[in-house]
Structure 1
Amino acid sequence: MSSRELVVLGTASAVPTRHRNHNGYLLRWDGQGFLFDPGEGTQRQMAHAGVSANDVHWLCVTHFHGDHCLGVPGVVQRIARDRVRHPVNAVFPASGETYWRRLRHAAVFADTSVIAEHPLSGDVAEVGALTARRLSHPVESYGYRVQEPAGRRMLPERLAAHGIRGAEIGELQRTGSVRGVSLAECSAPRPGQSAAFVMDTRLCDAVFELAAGADLLVIEATFLSGESALAKEYGHLTAAEAGQVAAEAGVRRLVLTHFSERYGFADEPAFLEDVRRSYDGEVFVARDFMTVPVPTRATT
């Protein structure tokens, strides 16, 4: 199993359907689980997908419309019931803190102390490995990005040319030089991997900033392009706009989700057609319980 992958738990927008649950997305990232926008029914979707409460280390809410947060009570209570020991960071817009409190304490249960709350404010915020940017929606909404720091990859032919081998390679990586040979002479820059998560929003600068160079972009495509006026009115993206973002931002793998209930599986080719107007990279039209690996590391 990949250590970096997306597990899709739900793909509907405001109204769930027989085949699409409300939102829910678990990003597995080097032993950390980022659970984004747990909508109604997420706890049960987790059970179907083989995801446990112990897999959740981050609970990230973009905004407080019901399809993005009504699963919070069940997830929190399951974290408590299963006696999760590790910290769980809860990230959400500070302007919706009243709603967070209602969801966090929606019913009687034996509570847990592992949840650390991180209300967000301002246009840009950072919490650990997570960067949040404010989007354009009728209520305050944030998009998220997980970013690995940039590093360097060793070049075997350069190491061999300088006669560096064995333990000296580790010393070079740790100290930056061995026998007068610098790390830069034997390595090349290695970009850090990234995954971005963009839900309810109109097109805005923050969408492109979150998506810039992302290895994996999970993005709403609530409407087809024929409903672009409606999408703009309600603060959503069309599939064509999602494709535009992916193309301009240089995204490597695109995942479309958050579909209006007016569309069924038979409409998936139309979503791909809209995206292909501008984006020729890898595209997944998400379905519940789909698993999407983060692409293998780019070399440049």
Structure 2
Amino acid sequence: MRELVVLGTSSQVPTRERNHNGYLLRWDGQGLLFDPGEGTQRQMILAGVPSSAVTRICLTHVHGDHTFGLPGVLSRLSLDGVEHPVDLHYPASGDAVVRALVALARPGADLRLHPHGAAGEVAPGLVVEPLAHRVETYGYRLVEPDGRSLVPARLDAAGVRGADVGTLVRDGRWGGVTLDDVSVPRPGQGFAFVMDTAPCAGAEALAQDVDLLVAEATYADEDAALAREHRHLTAGQAGALAGAAGVGELVLTHFSSRYPDVGPLVEQARRAAAGSRRAGGTRVRAVDDLDRVRLPPRRRLV
């Protein structure tokens, strides 16, 4: 299963309708928990997400609305007797803050700390890029390797059937038939998480050609001066980022409490995405707490 479980969507402070940040990405056997803000443990209960689903925690930066839920989540892992190790990734400059938060949790979880201080791969298939916020901040990108999809008509024409298909896939050849003869390229699925940043090259690198991009839309376009001051994205900037990067679907979140209705932000993002140099292919939606977003189908290579 590959889906995003939205645990919270508010920036800075929670509201009556929106909890602090929190996003769980189910990716096959992994559960990546991004930026668990205050109240994330309770939101997991409401969403029907067991603590055992969490295998990796990824912090973009150490501001409270992205980290204050960490002690509660770790305590729940311990109370529930979760035995598998949980890897915690975070910016190296926030090490003291992260260790203080970890120290508040009930001991017992098999937690492994992985601070990072530069762009690069931090786990198999998971890379980070620096963003442009008021403190050291990184976004995350998870991409599976490209593969190939078998074409049944080609298999029939080549006379490859039954167990021979498995041999062909395993060895790359069956008799005089190669895997390339009976298959087409299949791009690996990609996911990116861009939070708390001004427009920057790191955000562009993270978003490039992913199927699903989760991005902040803290401010409306008319409040661009506030976005510049606090180093956040407007909705239009998030849309332009996604459109230019060829993103399949853009998920907007991290809304300021000044916008009880985020519909206008969605329209601003849609217009900006449609006006990009790769216009026309990016779907845009806003999410509410407890929404679930399935990863879009893999796109065909042309």
Please confirm whether the aligned pair reaches a TM-score higher than 0.5, indicating the same fold: yes
Q: Residue 12 of structure 1 corresponds to which residue in structure 2?
A: 10
Distance apart, 1:186 and its partner CA:
1.1
The letter for the 1-side match of 2:273 is Y
2:297 aligned with 1:290: no
Q: 2:238 aligns with which of 223, 242, 251?
A: 242
The separation in 1 between residues aligned to 2:287 and 2:270, in whole angstroms, is: 16
Distance apart, 1:55 and its partner CA:
0.9
The separation in 1 between residues aligned to 2:17 and 2:94, in whole angstroms, is: 30
Q: 2:212 aligns with which of 207, 212, 216?
A: 216
Q: Residue 300 of structure 2 corresponds to which residue in structure 1?
A: 299
Q: Residue 184 of structure 2 corresponds to which residue in structure 1?
A: 188
Matches within 5 A, 1:1-300: 3-106=1-104, 109=106, 111-264=107-260, 266=261, 268-280=262-274, 281-300=282-301
- Aligned-residue CA RMSD in angstroms? 1.2
Q: Residue 279 of structure 2 corresponds to which residue in structure 1?
A: none
> What SS does the corresponding residue of 1:97 show, helix, strand or coil?
helix
The separation in 2 between residues aligned to 1:125 and 1:172, in whole angstroms, is: 32
TM-score normalised by structure 1 residue count:
0.95
The separation in 2 between residues aligned to 1:34 and 1:249, in whole angstroms, is: 23
The separation in 1 between residues aligned to 2:152 and 2:209, in whole angstroms, is: 27
The answer for unaligned runs of 5 or more in structure 2 is: 275-281
The letter for the 2-side match of 1:29 is W
Paired residues, what number? 294
The answer for unaligned runs of 5 or more in structure 1 is: none
> What SS does the corresponding residue of 1:254 show, helix, strand or coil?
strand
Distance apart, 1:95 and its partner CA:
0.9
Cα-to-partner distance string for 1:174-213 (whole Å, 9 max, x where unaligned): 1111112111111111001111111001111111111111
Cα-to-partner distance string for 1:124-156 (whole Å, 9 max, x where unaligned): 343123111111111000101111111100111
**Percent of residue pairs identical:** 51
The letter for the 2-side match of 1:298 is R
Greater CA drift, 55-64 or 114-123: 114-123
| Structure 1 segments of 4+ aligned residues over 6 angstroms from their partners | none
TM-score normalised by structure 2 residue count:
0.95
Cα-to-partner distance string for 1:11-48 (whole Å, 9 max, x where unaligned): 01011111111100011111211100000111111111
The separation in 1 between residues aligned to 2:48 and 2:132, in whole angstroms, is: 34
